[in-house]
Chains A and B, each alone.
Chain A
């Protein structure tokens, strides 16, 4: 089976891989919306959506069959999985109004423009690793390129254009204000975000080695043997991780930084005039950004697919292979690595929602003050301190 797959033309293989990743990421992003509803509900002391059950007749019968499985069906119903399907169906089939006063072309372009960077950044994120025939660790990624993080930042920052476009094309005041806020906020936090990851790459690119911005190499440098080789960068560079996390919240428009949306003072911000499928595209894009952003955070600071600090994936697989030999096959190992990685990402998705119900929204000027007067100086100081420290350590 593997031979057959690897004999396919490269272009077709890439197309298949890309399709699979999008087919996983898109529903995952949609599932995040249900997770959001459930976690909100639990934090607020209510059960959340737990009633929807598809009928056993009609074209939903397969779902209905699943729902009628005794324990699993009830569990899925309680978790609102079928509500998710119903929501998806509603967003797809309901009337999609375009208000008369909007700039039609850009109005329709905006949600599409939000999806493109959201789904294309994932191409540069390695989400697992396996041993190839030669026994080398190979990343599971759509595009394992040396520009890695730079490409993610370059593509990810395009996402703000969709918000500006949406705000401007809506041709009404609240979306416009939302768009303006989005542009100001995302640009200011982009600076701190980029500066905060520099120490990591200063450390990874030791003098004499080959320079790289690859995320795979960052994980590799966190899975070395020895005490300092196995530490995750969140322990050695906590300030960087902290700044990156805060900037991530701001970049993905999550509370307490959801200035562009800000339903209390801006109705709905940039998406006030949107409805139905176009609206849902904005949110799938937001969740996709969250997933990719959390993924990057895990790769940079939390050791990617390594299960624990000082316990690398390779060690784990070697240990497991003694008990169960099949785990060292590429398929199994890849699945284990992806599982560990997705587990960490899942925790961050939960963290995003957890913070949402803990912190109130900042005022707009507070967001700007925090970004420019606190985070930016902090990230510059952090960079200088780590640059000097790394220079001292690596040239010793």
Chain B
């Protein structure tokens, strides 16, 4: 292989005075100064949230307005900082969603403990708990920082998916009863 000897040039006189480089630096900073700013005026301007962002965990309804959580408590058990506390409850027999059997009576997420890891969302078999786009949680007291069920649904809203897993199950059971086979 051919050996290429790279010539090491000594610094020229101008380079040793630094002056051309200082002038170039001044030009750079001046260009920077007349460009528009890089920052956001935060409370008025908000950053664009990328897809898959892990913000504040929330609970969601399905498109029919049924609360998706069936209070299986998997999220409560997986939660590393033990931020979630669920009180399971049964759905009354006369309820339209009686076939789902269970829903949370109370669902509390302590946002002072939450580490936004997203394990609750990952473990949820019902896709009922979602880490959504809200990144700023503030409050004046510790109590305010605990999101209860009402607040969690307010934050979460409705998830536009169309699995209707429980409705399909109920329909299948009904068909089995009527037809005698499955």
> Of the candidates B25, B33, B35, B39, which one forms a contact with A39 in the assembled complex, judged by CB atoms under 8 Å apart?
B33
> Contact: A358 with B28, CB < 8 Å?
yes
How far is it, in angstroms, between the C-alpha of A45 and the C-alpha of B34 when the chains are bound?
A: 9
- Range class of the A interface residue count: 10 to 19
Per the 8 Å Cβ criterion, residues 21-72 of A in contact with B are 39, 41-47
> Of the candidates B25, B28, B33, B41, which one forms a contact with A42 in the assembled complex, judged by CB atoms under 8 Å apart?
B33
> Contact: A45 with B25, CB < 8 Å?
no
Does chain A have a CB within 8 A of B171?
A: no
> Contact: A354 with B22, CB < 8 Å?
no
> Contact: A47 with B26, CB < 8 Å?
no
Contacts of B29 in A (CB 8 A): 43, 354, 357-358
> Contact: A45 with B22, CB < 8 Å?
no
> Contact: A358 with B39, CB < 8 Å?
no
A45/B28 contact (C-beta < 8 A), A358-B22, A359-B22 known: no
Does chain B have a CB within 8 A of A321?
A: no
> Contact: A46 with B28, CB < 8 Å?
no
How far is it, in angstroms, between the C-alpha of A355 and the C-alpha of B30 when the chains are bound?
A: 10
Contacts of A42 in B (CB 8 A): 33, 37
> Contact: A45 with B26, CB < 8 Å?
no
Say how far B150's CB is from chain A's closest CB, in angstroms. 35
> Contact: B30 with A45, CB < 8 Å?
no
For B, the interface residue count at a CB cutoff of 8 angstroms equals 13
How far is it, in angstroms, between the C-alpha of A333 and the C-alpha of B25 when the chains are bound?
A: 39
Contacts of A354 in B (CB 8 A): 26, 29-30, 33
Does chain A have a CB within 8 A of B15?
A: no
> Contact: A47 with B41, CB < 8 Å?
yes
Does chain A have a CB within 8 A of B32?
A: yes
How far is it, in angstroms, between the C-alpha of A354 and the C-alpha of B39 when the chains are bound?
A: 20
How far is it, in angstroms, between the C-alpha of A39 and the C-alpha of B26 when the chains are bound?
A: 13
Contacts of A43 in B (CB 8 A): 29, 32-33
How far is it, in angstroms, between the C-alpha of A358 and the C-alpha of B22 when the chains are bound?
A: 8
Does chain A have a CB within 8 A of B95?
A: no
How far is it, in angstroms, between the C-alpha of A42 and the C-alpha of B37 when the chains are bound?
A: 7
In the complex, what residue of chain A is closest to B28 when comparing beta carbons?
A: A358
In the complex, what residue of chain B is closest to A51 when comparing beta carbons?
A: B41
Does chain A have a CB within 8 A of B7?
A: no
Does chain A have a CB within 8 A of B38?
A: yes
> Contact: B32 with A355, CB < 8 Å?
no
Contacts of A46 in B (CB 8 A): 37-39
> Of the candidates A45, A355, A357, which one forms a contact with B35 in the assembled complex, judged by CB atoms under 8 Å apart?
A45
In the complex, what residue of chain A is closest to B31 when comparing beta carbons?
A: A43
In the complex, what residue of chain B is closest to A242 when comparing beta carbons?
A: B19
Per the 8 Å Cβ criterion, residues 34-48 of B in contact with A are 35, 37-39, 41
Contacts of B38 in A (CB 8 A): 45-46
Say how far B102's CB is from chain A's closest CB, in angstroms. 50
Say how far A248's CB is from chain B's closest CB, in angstroms. 15
Contacts of A355 in B (CB 8 A): 26
Say how far A80's CB is from chain B's closest CB, in angstroms. 14
Apart from A354-B30, A358-B22, list 7 A-B contacts with CB within 8 A: A41-B37, A46-B37, A46-B39, A358-B25, A358-B26, A358-B28, A359-B22
Residues of B within 8 A of A (CB): 22, 25-26, 28-30, 32-33, 35, 37-39, 41
A-B contact pairs, 13 of them (CB 8 A): A41-B37, A42-B37, A43-B32, A44-B32, A45-B35, A45-B37, A47-B37, A47-B39, A354-B26, A358-B22, A358-B26, A358-B28, A358-B29
